[in-house]
Amino acid sequence: MEKEFCTVQTGDKVKCYERGIAYKKIAEEFQEEYPAKIVLALVDGTRLQELNKRLKQDCKIEFVTVKDPIGYETYRRSLCFMLVKAVHDVGGHDKIRNVKIHFSVSNGYYCTIDGDVVLDQKFLDQIDARMHELAEAQIPIEKRSVHTSDAVELFGRHGMYDKERLFGYRRVSKVNIYRMNEFEDYYYGYMVPDSGYLKNFALHLYDEGFVLQMPEIDKPEIVPHFQARTKFFQVMKESVKWGDIQEIETVGGLNRNITSGDVQETVLVQEAMQERRIAEIAQMIASRPEIRFVLIAGPSSSGKTTFSHRLSVQLRANGMRPHPIAVDNYFKEREETPKDEKGNYNFEGLCAVDIDLFEETNAEHPFQFISGLGTTLESFENQITALSKGDKFDFTIPADKAYGQYDEQHVIDLPKHIFEIDGKFDSEHIKEGNIVPLQTGDGQRVNASVVEIKPDVVVVDLNHPLAGADLIFEGEIIESRPATNEEIQELIKLMSGEGCGCGCDSCGGGCGDNECGDDCGCEGGHCHK
């Protein structure tokens, strides 16, 4: 039978290969042109293929390495597969019930072993040696597709009851099973073609289990030193414990709770455990009166704002008056937002935040106001207006003479429909932690902080952000002069809703701290900087 050939374009090169050749063979020809090990093939820009797959038609191929995110995850997933096989090989298939890969630690995964074995350094060294043996043997990692019911029977026979429960709820007819010699397991995602690709790793005994340490994405040949992050680890371990308490340590367990009608209780118990933990954190903060700031970190949409308000409630229960400050209110304008190496806006870095809004004023951009019309705090003006250029000041205004004490009665419920636009709730702007402008019945404008969004009402806090706080002022008078007519006229525009719009309702009033320049007057009388 005459051989059939396909034309393959890779970069600017075009070659012919026999139909049915494995992508792995093609990758070997181009490996020297890539900075790291090739692990996947991208065919025609749309289809990712494992290297054990075979060429079927003319196409364009781009190769994916372990330095690419999806290639890196392929390496990590495959390494986990080899680890599980090595544990069963060393411990014995009849003694190992389950190998659990829990969560990320350092640059690897924290793992535990459920079985009739003693996990000590000697046992871990045996696993390490077995993994290196498997890597040197270059054992093919084969994939086969089986019927879901067959997968349930297979994993039940092997004692992998978590997989058995998982596929019991699967609605598709086929399941992909991976094999390394006699050992089979299920993984969602791509695999490297053989164990020879998996030579870079390290094992570290840690806590009740061990850590499978892996290379970093930008240095795939080097396994970094293991760095224990004790606090982070304990938090993650506690979350695993919460799952174990409710028997939802796996997706299969969660599916069982959902189908049995227990999901509402599951949510309530999880909420109770979280609320208890937040209460413990609040008590810890309250026991340390020297703490003035509590910083909450996390990626976008991780729940920082929600957590801050729940923590605020618990702090109030401990007799404190917290004032949440949402970073969302301090992001730079879009055109000033930095970008990452791929050209996408990077909202996770500190450079995306307008730091100047948090810092003290300076001589280049001083705090400035115009006295005499009451738009700044009277107690503030009484301290400042008697001073002259060059005078230094350092004083404190107690809460009663600043923005008053925090009043729980100013936390009110507003009908949800008043926040509708064209008949739809304004979910884009009405979010927990956001500041929204409101208008009273007599036309007075006020700012409100959104505390909680309920099915029918929106809970808002009308207290000033600095209510209950003592205000501390320290600085130097760099200029004190009569206000010009232009500044007074600008003030009139500002008070009528025109002008620069920088506002004068910050700590002492004024607007010079918003870089509006000398033309942004706030009051009639004297201009102070």
List of residues 6+ apart from 156 with CB closer than 8 A:
164
Query: Shortest CA distance to 504 belongs to which of 517, 518, 520, 526?
Result: 520
**Looking up tokens 């993984």, which residue turns up?**
187
DSSP letter at 277 equals: H
d(CA 271, CA 275): 6
Please tell me the predicted confidence (pLDDT) of residue 314. 92
Please tell me the predicted confidence (pLDDT) of residue 403. 86
Can you tell me the mean pLDDT for 298-326? Answer: 84
Please tell me the predicted confidence (pLDDT) of residue 378. 86
pLDDT higher for 430 or 202?
A: 202
Per residue in 191-212, pLDDT (tens digit) is 999 999 999 999 999 999 999 9
Per residue in 355-366, pLDDT (tens digit) is 665 555 666 667
Can you tell me the mean pLDDT for 271-281? Answer: 91
pLDDT higher for 448 or 367?
A: 448
Cβ atoms of 88 and 96 closer than 8 Å: yes
Please tell me the predicted confidence (pLDDT) of residue 525. 41
Query: Shortest CA distance to 208 belongs to which of 111, 84, 126?
Result: 111
Strand 174-180 to strand 142-147: parallel, antiparallel, or no bridges (unpaired)?
A: antiparallel
In the chain, domain spans? 5-65, 71-238, 251-325, 361-401+475-528, 408-461
Query: Shortest CA distance to 377 belongs to which of 369, 366, 365?
Result: 369
Whether residue 434 is predicted with pLDDT greater than 90 in this model: the reply is no
Please tell me the predicted confidence (pLDDT) of residue 524. 32
List C-alpha distances in Å: 481 to 382, 526, 529. 16, 6, 9
d(CA 48, CA 61): 10
Domain spanning 5-65, CATH architecture: Roll (3.10)
Whether residue 230 is predicted with pLDDT greater than 90 in this model: the reply is no
Whether residue 473 is predicted with pLDDT greater than 90 in this model: the reply is no
Instruction: Return the structure tokens found at 273.
Output: 């455990």
CB atoms within 10 A of CB 301: 7
Can you tell me the mean pLDDT for 388-402? Answer: 89
Please tell me the predicted confidence (pLDDT) of residue 516. 35
pLDDT higher for 156 or 274?
A: 274
d(CA 446, CA 438): 5
**b/e for 89-108, b at 16 or more Cβ within 10 A?**
bbbeeeebebbbebebbbbb
d(CA 68, CA 343): 16
Can you tell me the mean pLDDT for 120-147? Answer: 94
d(CA 353, CA 407): 31
Q: Please report how many Cα atoms fall inside a 13 Å half-sphere around the Cα of residue 304, on the Cβ side.
A: 15
Top mean-pLDDT range of 216-230, 328-342, 498-512: 216-230
Instruction: Tell me the average pLDDT of the chain.
Output: 83
512 pLDDT band, cuts 50/70/90, is: very low
Among 1.10.132, 2.40.10, 1.20.58, 1.10.1740, name the CATH number for the domain at 408-461: 2.40.10
Please tell me the predicted confidence (pLDDT) of residue 27. 95
d(CA 228, CA 216): 16
Please tell me the predicted confidence (pLDDT) of residue 495. 56
Whether residue 507 is predicted with pLDDT greater than 60 in this model: the reply is no
Give ∠ CA 437-442-445 in degrees, rounded to 5.
Answer: 20
Can you tell me the mean pLDDT for 305-328? Answer: 85
Can you tell me the mean pLDDT for 449-467? Answer: 88
d(CA 509, CA 405): 19
Please tell me the predicted confidence (pLDDT) of residue 515. 35
d(CA 445, CA 436): 11
Percentages (nearest 5) of helix, strand, coil residues in the chain: 35, 25, 40
Cβ atoms of 134 and 182 closer than 8 Å: no
Angle 148-157/161-168 helices, nearest 10 degrees? 160
Can you tell me the mean pLDDT for 306-324? Answer: 87
3-class secondary structure for 206-265? ECCEEEEECCECCECCCCCCCCCCHHHHHHHHHHHHHHHHCCCCCHHHHHHHHHCCCHHH
Can you tell me the mean pLDDT for 507-524? Answer: 34
Lowest mean pLDDT among 4-8, 187-191, 465-469: 465-469
Query: Shortest CA distance to 66 belongs to which of 58, 74, 78?
Result: 74
Please tell me the predicted confidence (pLDDT) of residue 356. 60
Q: Helix, strand, or coil here: 410?
A: helix
499 pLDDT band, cuts 50/70/90, is: very low
Q: What percent of the chain has pLDDT over 90?
A: 35
Task: Please tell me the CATH superfamily of domain 71-238, with its number.
Answer: Threonyl-trna Synthetase; Chain A, domain 2 (3.30.980.10)
Per residue in 253-267, pLDDT (tens digit) is 777 778 877 788 888
Instruction: Return the structure tokens found at 453.
Output: 């969004």
503 pLDDT band, cuts 50/70/90, is: very low
Cβ atoms of 456 and 415 closer than 8 Å: yes
Residues pairing with 142 in the sheet: 179
Per residue in 60-110, pLDDT (tens digit) is 999 999 999 999 999 999 999 999 999 999 999 889 988 999 999 888 999
Please tell me the predicted confidence (pLDDT) of residue 501. 37
pLDDT higher for 253 or 144?
A: 144
Per residue in 26-63, pLDDT (tens digit) is 999 999 999 999 999 999 999 999 999 999 999 999 99
